[in-house]
Amino acid sequence: MIELKGITKEYLSGIISKHKKTVVSDVSFSIKKGETLGIVGESGCGKTTLGRIALRLTEPTLGEIWFDGVEITALSKSSMRKMRPRMQIIFQDPDTALDPRMTIRDSIAEPFKIWERSGRHETNEKVLEMLDIVGLQPDLISRYPFELSGGQKQRVALARALALDPEFIVADEPTSALDLSVQAQVLSLFQGIREKKGITLLFISHDLQVIRNMADCIAVMKEGVILEIQRTSDLFASPGHPYTRQLIDAEIEGEAWFGKGI
């Protein structure tokens, strides 16, 4: 479904003498249709940049991106725009992802309006349908983001991402701002919808346990490089890289209390 080949991203800084900083270095992976690839790594490892590159929201310095048999890195702006509704992103912080001056209705209706998928009455119905899918009460429709809790806002962001029936979604730490029980709610909801619609997912997180629950395959990233990619169960059974081992050990140590006698 989606394939990245030899993706490298460099940033130049400095006015007189240019410093080159490589954020993502020669990354290749592919995700099969309907599968989830998790990317795990510490902050600053380049995982967010990689997620944006996969949707061509950030241009890679080198490398190719293939989406459903098309090389999207070679597409012109207007043909790329035509591909946009098929791919979506859910951001880390629901507070900055939603426009504070737009009602929930307007936020969810915006993709329909931009793509002229429906008339006004239809739009309203579609917004209500989307709210229902993500488990929100219809009376939230005329509220503003500040009136909603973190979990509700992330559900709205999810509804907006799902509005145009995308085939591919990048979720960048979608629940790191949420509480334990709300995180469980949002993730199990998301997982259910994803399975039903057969959406291909790139799931980015620093929480190995969360990724373990969400992903078929896991890529471990550090300092812009993918250290290894394995099926989820294989990664936990036999991590190939010492850094993965370190992550899993820290996780096990942190969870040692868990499951004793429950």
Partner 1 sequence: MQLLEITGLQVSFIKDREIIHVIDSVNLTLEAHESCALVGESGCGKTVLGMAVMRLLPSNAQIEGSIRYRETNLLELNSHDMLQILGKEIGMIPQNSAMVLNPVMTIGRQITESLVLHEGISSKTADEKAIYLLKRMDIPDPHYALSQYPHEFSGGMRERILIAIVLACEPTLIIADEPTAGLDILVRKQTIELLMEHSRDKTFLLITHDLGTAHELCSRIVVMYAGEIVESGNTREVLSMPMHPYTQGLLTSHPSAGLHPIPGMSPNPGSFPEGCRFYTRCSSVQDLCTKEHPSLKETGKMRKVRCLRYD
Sites of contact with partner 1 (CB under 8 A): 42-44, 149-152, 176, 179-185, 187-188, 206-210, 212-213, 246-247, 250-251, 253-255, 257-262
Residue closer to partner 1, measured from CB, 60 or 224: 224
In angstroms, give the least distance from the CB of 176 to partner 1: 7
CA-to-CA distance for 221 and 17, rounded, in angstroms?
30
Q: Is 31 helix (H, G, I), strand (E, B) or coil?
A: strand
Residue closer to partner 1, measured from CB, 55 or 221: 221
In angstroms, give the least distance from the CB of 141 to partner 1: 17
CA-to-CA distance for 158 and 132, rounded, in angstroms?
12
Cβ-contact 183, 175 below 8 angstroms: yes
E-only strand ranges, the chain: 2-13, 19-31, 36-40, 62-67, 70-71, 87-90, 168-172, 200-205, 217-222, 225-231
In angstroms, give the least distance from the CB of 179 to partner 1: 4
CA-to-CA distance for 58 and 49, rounded, in angstroms?
7
**Other CB atoms within 10 A of residue 237 CB:** 9
Residue closer to partner 1, measured from CB, 72 or 210: 210
CA-to-CA distance for 259 and 262, rounded, in angstroms?
5
Q: What is the C-alpha end-to-end distance of the chain, expressed in Å?
A: 41
Residue closer to partner 1, measured from CB, 234 or 249: 249
In the block, residue with structure tokens 């629901």: 94
Residue closer to partner 1, measured from CB, 14 or 261: 261
In angstroms, give the least distance from the CB of 163 to partner 1: 23
In angstroms, give the least distance from the CB of 120 to partner 1: 31
Residue closer to partner 1, measured from CB, 167 or 172: 172
In angstroms, give the least distance from the CB of 128 to partner 1: 20
* Phi, psi (rounded to 5 degrees) for 49: -55, -45
Q: Is 16 helix (H, G, I), strand (E, B) or coil?
A: coil
Q: Is 257 helix (H, G, I), strand (E, B) or coil?
A: coil
Residue closer to partner 1, measured from CB, 26 or 207: 207
In angstroms, give the least distance from the CB of 40 to partner 1: 9
Which of 212, 151, 158 is CA-nearest to residue 179?
151
